[in-house]
Amino acid sequence: MPLTMKKTSCALVVFLVLSVGSVQSDDMTSIVPLPRRIASGTGVFVLDRDFHVRVVGHRDPRLQDAIDRFMTRLGKLTGIHRFSNEGGATLEVLCERDGETPESYVLDVSEQGARLEADTVVGILRGLETMLQLVRVSDQGFAVPSVRIEDEPRFPWRGLLIDVSRHFQPLDVLERNLDAMAAVKLNVLHWHLTDDQGFRIES
């Protein structure tokens, strides 16, 4: 193997090791995209079978679906697949109303619990994604570090183009892309359905 390739391989290994280490620590740079304001606290909020989400204020089907997805994904992350519906540690969700904008939210996490506040349901969706990215392995088990995050998107249009006309993609691949878009808080899908190479919708 040429010397330059060996150096590149070593550098890549070091980068991957450092990256994995940062995810397991309390380093908030593992949140994607990086929030506008972060203030780290002390201690961790332990996630166990008693954890549950309590909704305060506005409720609607989209918000409930988002919370259900959050709990399902949290279960996959932690291996806890049956959470309590009452008692124990809580994530309190306070939503003012339905709507697409603003997408801003405030997430407060302490040793006693967590509180997520937003003007709109979409803001709550963004905060739930951040909460999932904060899950760590601690001495006490799975936990979220104490932190206060105030976040809002820098750009109103944050999109992804998927060209299924020229490069056909199965439906499950598209759905995985939508999940990935939500995880990094993208909000526009440009779905290129038709062109000379293909016409993907019945007409």
Q: Which pLDDT tens digits describe the chain residue by residue (203 residues)?
A: 554 444 444 443 433 333 433 334 456 767 889 999 999 998 999 998 888 899 988 999 999 999 999 999 999 988 887 776 665 568 999 999 998 889 999 999 999 999 999 999 999 999 999 999 999 998 888 999 999 999 999 999 999 999 988 888 899 999 999 999 999 999 999 998 888 877 777 77
Residue 37's pLDDT is 94
List the domains of the chain with CATH numbers: 27-151 (3.30.379.10), 159-199 (no CATH)
Contact by Cβ (8 Å): 146, 111 = yes
Rounded to whole angstroms, the maximal C-alpha distance in the chain is: 63
Question: Per-residue pLDDT tens for 37-81?
Answer: 999 998 999 998 888 899 988 999 999 999 999 999 999 988 887
Instruction: Return the exposure string of 88-101: e unless at least 16 CB atoms fall within 10 Å of the residue's CB, then b.
Output: ebbbebbbeeeeee
- Which backbone phi and psi does 86 adopt, to 5 degrees? -155, 160
